[in-house]
Amino acid sequence: MDPLCHTLVGTTLAARFRERTWGAATTVVVAANLPDLDVLAYAWGSDAALGFRRGWTHGVLALAVWPLLLTAAVWAWGRWRGAEGLHPGRLLGLAVLALLTHPALDWLNTYGMRWLFPFDERWSYGDTLFIVDPWMWLILGGASFLAWSRSRRAVAAWAALAVVASVPVLLAPTLPAGARLAWVGGLAGLALARRFVGPVGVAARHRIAMAGLLVASLYVAGTWLAHAVAVDRVRAVAAEGEVFAGPLPAAPLLWDVLVITADGYRPGRLHPGGTVELRSEAIPRNADDPRVAAALATPCVAGMVRWMRYPFFVIEEGRQETLVHVLDARYVRAPDSGFGGTAVVLGPNGRPRDCR
Q: Tens-digit pLDDT profile for the chain (356 aa)?
A: 999 999 999 999 999 999 999 999 999 999 999 999 999 999 999 999 999 999 999 999 999 999 999 999 999 999 999 989 999 999 999 999 999 999 999 999 999 999 999 999 999 999 999 999 999 999 999 999 999 998 999 999 999 999 999 998 888 877 778 888 999 999 999 999 998 888 889 999 999 999 999 999 999 999 999 999 999 999 988 877 799 999 988 888 889 999 998 889 999 999 888 889 998 888 999 999 999 999 999 999 999 999 999 999 999 988 788 999 999 999 998 887 678 899 999 988 878 888 88
User: SS3 of 321, please?
Assistant: coil
| Residue 150, pLDDT score | 87
352 bridge partner residues: 346
CA 286 – CA 292 distance, rounded (Å): 8
List all residues 6 or more positions away from 254 whose beta carbon is below 8 Å from its beta carbon. 174, 176, 247, 248, 269, 270, 271, 272
| Residue 262, pLDDT score | 83
Select from 7, 21, 15 the least CA-distant residue to 200: 15
DSSP 104-154: HHHHTSSS-B-TTTTT----B----S-SS-HHHHHHHHHHHHHHH--SHHH
| Residue 19, pLDDT score | 94
List all residues 6 or more positions away from 54 whose beta carbon is below 8 Å from its beta carbon. 35, 38, 103, 106, 111, 112, 113, 114, 117
CA 112 – CA 33 distance, rounded (Å): 17
| Residue 197, pLDDT score | 84
pTM above 0.85, yes or no: yes
| Residue 356, pLDDT score | 81
Q: Which residues of 173-191 are buried (b: 16+ CB within 10 A; e: fewer)?
A: eebeeebbeebeebbeebe
| Residue 337, pLDDT score | 65
DSSP state of 213: H
Cβ atoms of 224 and 133 within 8 Å: the answer is no
HSE on the CB side for 156, CA within 13 Å?
3
| Residue 204, pLDDT score | 94
| Residue 15, pLDDT score | 96
